[in-house]
Amino acid sequence: MQERNPSTDLVTFGETMALFAARRTGPLRFARDFDLGVGGAESNVAIGVARLGHAATWVGRVGADEFGDLIRTTLMGEGVSTHAIPDPGAPTGLMIKGRRTADLIDVRYYRRDSAGSRLSAADLDPELIRSARVLHVSAITPALSASAREAVRHAMTVARAAGVTVSLDVNYRRALWTPEEAGAWLREVAGDVDVLFATEAEGRLMAEVEGAEELAKALAGMGPRHVLLKFGAQGALELSGGVVRRAEPYRVTEVDSVGAGDAFAAGWLADWLAGADPERRLATACAVGAFAVTSQGDWESLPRRADLALLHSPADGVNR
């Protein structure tokens, strides 16, 4: 069963996997207990945008298996309009997350020949893309397969022709392709991108430029109207309309940093959809990213609007 929505604020697509997170710190071979959930860069963004009050849609292929059903019911339960296409010929991909030490998270993917990697342009509804205000994609999807790469280009072409804003998060995965391959593809599509999210290291896949502001300007010169550079615990930078703005990070206790970049993108896009000014949307992006690292899981601690004020709670950490 799929939940259909004739229009949406944000549409995204990609691979979402079943996520096994080890409860014990140490080598995975000694893990005995795991928490089962779901995780995927694009669906993380969809959940984040939905929690912040906007209509979000996720499209993807899943196995005709229990993990595919888990992904479908989880996303629908989070208010995301879900177009999960069951693939009887391939399994749902797996993500295994361990904590090698208290400070080092080890993530392993089992996604070769998975259902998600078989995504194609035929799986995408052009009318759904045209009805959206934002198309959000990541550079993970084109690295999965030739058909998935074609799907991303097709979606971007449809969005551009319809005047839909195109958002791209670099989200580089070295297990999927080389820096040279990723950089070449990113430079190829940059002219069709309106909003670009990247870390400094990811940005330098596209342009070998020293200095964060200089890098942002070089990336903007390739086409994006908004360039967002993420510095993790050091905050973030936005270049829009030729103006560079910086935001300081929120000080929180980090538990699990996986998914923080997706959360940042969700916060920024939600405030852009709400018509917020540049300072507000950058601050919200940093706040949502801060929430994401405060608990286990890729998306579970993503905030709702009312939660954002909690980052300004009393110094003793107790709300009364």
**Vertex 49 angle, CA 212 and 197, to 5°:** 20
Ramachandran angles phi, psi of 258, nearest 5°: -65, 130
Choose the catalytic residue: 9, 123, 262, 271: 262
How distant, in Å, are the alpha carbons of 209, 251, 301 from that of 320? 49, 21, 21
Q: Is 262 a catalytic residue?
A: yes
Active site residues: 262
